[in-house]
Structure 1
Amino acid sequence: MTNAAEAWPSPRATDGPDDRSAFALGLLLRRAHDRALAAVAGVLRPLGLETRHLAVLIALCDRGAMSQSALVEATGSDRATMVRVVDDLESGLLVTRGTLLADRRVRIVAVTERGHAVFDQAHRDVAPVIDGLVAHLLPGETDRLVDLLTRFVYPGRA
C-alpha cells in the first residue's frame, strides 16, 4: 500500500512560502492581490473611494464615456453593483450619468473634471505605498514581476 504523499502528483498545498503544490500559483496570486488591495484601499479611503470605485474610474479615464453595460463588461462587475458604484461616484461629483438621445434606456457615464483630479491624486498618493510593497525586491525585479504577470494575465502578448 502506498502512502498518501506518494499518491498525489505534487506536494500537498500548505499556503505558505515553501508551497510548491499545484495550488501554489493561485494561492500566491491571491495573497499578492490581498496585500496590494489592502495597501491601495488605505490610500483610496481618505479620497472617499473604494477599490470598486477605482475600477470604474480606471475604465472611464482610459476609454472615455461609456454605457453602464459597457462598464459592467470592462470591470467584470454585475449590473446591480455597477448601479451602486455609479450612484456613489455621481453623488461625489466624480462622474455624470446621462442618456443617449437615440435610446434613452442606455445610461452613459462620464468622468467629471473633479473625477479626473481625484483619480490623479490617487495615482500620486499610491506610488510611495506601492514602492514600499516592493522595496525588498532587488533592482529590476519589480519590472520583471510586472512583465511576468502581464504575460500571465494577457497570454500571447509579447
Structure 2
Amino acid sequence: MTADVPLSPTASRATDRRGEASPFALGLLLRQAHWRAAAVMAEALRPLGIELRHFAVLIVLVDRGATVQRDLAAATGSDKAGIMRVVDDLERRGLAVRKAVPGDRRARAVEITPQGVELFDAAHVAAVPLAESLVAELGPGEPEMLMDLLTRFAYPAGAEA
C-alpha cells in the first residue's frame, strides 16, 4: 500500500540524505542506548534474582514511599496488569507488601520491605562498576552532562509529569 503524498518538485527526498539526518535518528539512537544500558543493568540484577521491571518499581518505592498501584504503573510506564504481576513477584520474594489505603477500599498501596531495601542497596553496589563501563568512552564531565541532557529531554520544563 502506497500513500499518495505529493512531493514538491523542489523538495529533496529523504533517500537523498544520510540516515543520521533523518528525523527518526534521535529516537533510534536513544533506543540503541536504552538496549545497551538495559542489558548491562540486567547483568547487575541477575544474581539478585530480579529483573529491570522489578527494580523500576523498587526505585519508585524508595523515592516516593508507599505508592498506589495505579501510580506505580504510570511511574514505570507499565499497564495495570503488568504492574500487578510485578508487585505479585515482589510480594512473593518479600521485597514489597500491599497495604490498604485509608478512605479507599479498592486501592492498595505498595510499600518496600526491609528485605527490599537490602536488595536495593545490593543492586546498587553490583551496578557501580557496570555503570562506569557504560560511560567509559566519555570524557571528564560528560557522564554528568549526558544525564542532564537526557533528564531535560525526558522531562521538559512545563510538560505534565
Contact (CA 8 Å) 1:11, 1:22: kept in 2 or not?
Answer: no
Instruction: Name the stretch that deviates more: 132-141 or 98-107.
Output: 98-107
What TM-score do the two structures reach when normalised by structure 1? 0.86
Structure 2 SS opposite 1:105: strand
Query: 1:80: how far off?
Result: 0.5
1:120 alignment counterpart: 121
Aligned to 1:149: 150
Taking the aligned partners of 2:138 and 2:16, their CA distance within structure 1 comes to 28
**Deviations 1:4-43 (CA, angstroms, capped at 9, x unpaired):** x932397253xxxxx2322111111000000000000111
Larger deviation, residues 113-122 vs 136-145: 136-145
Task: Kindly provide the CA deviation profile for residues 44-83 of structure 1, in whole angstroms up to 9, marking residues without a partner as x.
Answer: 1111111110111011110000111121122121110111
Show the counterpart of 1:16: none
Percent identical among aligned pairs is 53
Deviation, 1:141, is 1.3
Q: CA deviation at 1:101?
A: 4.3
Query: In structure 1, what is the Cα distance between the partners aligned to 2:72 and 2:89?
Result: 15
Q: Show the counterpart of 1:50.
A: 51
1:21 corresponds in structure 2 to: 22
8 A Cα contact 1:94 1:111, kept in partner:
yes
- Where relative contact order (Cα < 8 A, 6+ residues apart) is larger, the structure is 2
Q: Which runs of 5+ in 2 are unaligned?
A: 1-7
Q: How many residues align?
A: 150
